[in-house]
Structure formats: C-alpha cells, structure tokens
Amino acid sequence: MSHKIVSKKQLSKDVFTAEIEAPLVAQARKAGQFVIISINNEYAERIPLTIAGADPEKGTIRLIWQRIGKTTAELADLQQGDEITNVAGPLGKPTHLENFGTIVCVGGGIGNAPLLPIAKALKAQGNKIISILGARSKELLILEEEFAQISSELIITTDDGSYGRKALVTEPLKECCQRNPKPDQVFVIGPTIMMKFCCEVTKKFNIPTQVSLNTIMVDGTGMCGGCRIEFDGQPKFVCVDGPEFDGHKVNFDLMMKRLNAYKDQEQKAYKQYKEHKCKIGLDK
C-alpha cells in the first residue's frame, strides 16, 4: 500500500510539513509516537519521523521534517499527489499523560514539531503549559501560532535576536525554574546539545525532565539495536524503551557522537543527490 501526500507546505528554509495518507497510523497514534518511512521499496533508507499530528477521520498523519540529507531532501522534493511507499507505525511508547500541574515545554528548531502533539495532549489533561520555543533566527521558527493557542505563556528566543529574546532557551528555562512555585515537570525536545544543557539546568532544581530522542534507527521495532543510548549507565533502545526518557539519566555526549556515525557517507550521498538533481534540471 502506498501513502499519498495529501498536502505539503514549506515552513521555513529547510523545514517542510506534509499530510500523508496512513489511516491505520492515524487511528492508532498517540502523542509522543513516531513512524518509520521509506520512499521506495528497493534502495531507500528507513528513517524515523515523529508524528506531529493526525486526523483519524481523514485518515492522514502530519509529518514535519528538516532537509538535512539525501532522504529528507528527496522527501522535500515530492509534491502533493506523490506517494511514499512505506509508512510503518506508530512506533515507540506514547507519552505518559497525567495532570502534573505546571509544565514547561521547551522546543528547539525542528524539535517544536514532535513537541506540539505532546504539549496538546498534556494541556488536554488539565496541565498549565508554559512554552519556550527557540530558533537560530526568526525565519527558522516554526509552529509559533499552534503553541500560542495552548500555552498560558509563550516565550520565544532566537540566537541572533531577530525575534523574541536574544538568548538560548536555557535562560528563560532557568528563570521558570526559579519561580515559586517551581514547575512540576519539564519536557524538552530539540537538538541533542540543547536537551543536554536544558537537563543540566533542571537537574539543579530537581525538576523531573522528559526528553524525546531521535537517534539513528533501522527497523524501529527493537530488532537491530542501532538506536541504543546509554541511560543510567545501561543500554536502552530508543525505539522500544523510548523515545521519551528521563533526561537526567541520558548520556547526551555519547548520543551526539553516535548521531554522527555516518556523517561522511551521509554528506556524500546528499552531495550526489544534489548534483544529480542539477543534471536533471539541465535536461529541461
């Protein structure tokens, strides 16, 4: 069964969103889960993408991705009406939902995409949501409006000060932690380095912090172990034990290195793809 792209939009320079037909996943998915997709059946790689939203009645899921390599670029080049061969999921454990009280949701860059459904679900549980969204610059900020709708407070930071506060997300996060009463729970999703530093902040205040990890995966069902991280000194599989973990126990340094395991090969493949695409352009 192929999966048709029902609609597609560019959110920022390298960030795209698409609604994709996947009725079973749309029915089953819960906040915090992801899918593994591959564009075709023969040579395409399998990549995990968080489900940013779903419409069970329409039978569609919403994916948001950043163009960083060959597969994400290929995906970005597909248009409305095109099809993706494989969408498997939903995978991973859903977010543990509970009325914790006040929750700070910290999103960075593309991390806002997986954070949104979690924040929505937490809001639906009766939690008060404070959102901190960070981006390198104004153009790279995504989903601001959606977060505004569910947050009792929305703090925007940019690295270059082109919008909101000129700061890293850790600054307002620290301020939130210093409030009285302090937040009951923190959720952080974004670049690994950002999650690491956010966890360092919240650890000092002893505030439970959940992170959602996006490691390299192949099957996504526990079979290969490629996604393993070091958690509290023990190996854990992001695909079946996660993707959400207690951020205070994750070895982020090792995770960052593992994410770069195929950097050279990935860059080579991406370069080849871009060059190939240029040649296609010349034919026209």
Partner 1 sequence: MTDKESQELLQQLLEKQKTGKLTPADRYKIPPQGMPEQDPITRRSNVNEVATGYTETQARLEAMRCLQCKTAPCINGCPVQIRIRDFIAAIADGNYKKALDVIKENSLLPAVCGRVCPQEVQCQQTCTVGLKFKDPTKAVSIGRLERFVADFDRNAGSDSVPSVATETGMKVAVIGSGPGGIVTAADLRRAGHDVTIFEAFHKTGGVMVYGIPEFRLPKAIVQKEIDTLTKMGVKITCNFIVGRTKTLEQLFKEDGFDAVYIGVGAGLPRFMGIEGESLIGVYSANEYLTRANLMKAYDFSSGADTPIAISKKVAVIGGGNVAMDSARTALRLGAEKVYLVYRRTEKEMPARIEEVHHAQEEGIEFHILQSPKRIIGDQNSHVIAIECLKYQLGKLDESGRRRPIPIEGSEFRIDVDTCIIAIGNIANPLIRQTTPGLKFNKWGNIVVDEETMATSVPSVFAGGDIVSGAATVIMAMGQGRIAAAAMNDFLAKK
Residues binding partner 1 (CB under 8 A): 1, 24-25, 28, 33, 38, 41-46, 70-71, 85-91, 93, 218-219, 221-226, 228-230, 235, 237, 240, 251, 254, 257-258, 260-262, 265-266, 268-269, 272
Check: CB of residue 41 under 8 Å from CB of residue 30: no
Q: Which is nearer to partner 1, 145 or 264 (CB)?
A: 264
DSSP string, 85-109: SEEEEEESPPP-----SEEEEEEEG
Q: Which is nearer to partner 1, 15 or 88 (CB)?
A: 88
CB of 87 to partner 1, least distance (A): 6
Could you tell me how far CA 208 lies from the centroid of its own chain? 20
Q: Which is nearer to partner 1, 184 or 230 (CB)?
A: 230
CB of 219 to partner 1, least distance (A): 7
Which residue(s) pair with 188 in the sheet? 106, 211
- Token pair, residue 199, equals 């966890």
Which residue(s) pair with 186 in the sheet? 104, 209
Q: Which is nearer to partner 1, 177 or 224 (CB)?
A: 224
What CA–CA distance (Å, rounded) separates 119 from 160?
Answer: 26
Amino acid 86 reads N
- Three-state DSSP at 274 gives helix
Q: Which is nearer to partner 1, 33 or 60 (CB)?
A: 33
Check: CB of residue 48 under 8 Å from CB of residue 214: yes
CB of 185 to partner 1, least distance (A): 23
What CA–CA distance (Å, rounded) separates 113 from 265?
Answer: 27
CB of 158 to partner 1, least distance (A): 31
CB of 39 to partner 1, least distance (A): 9
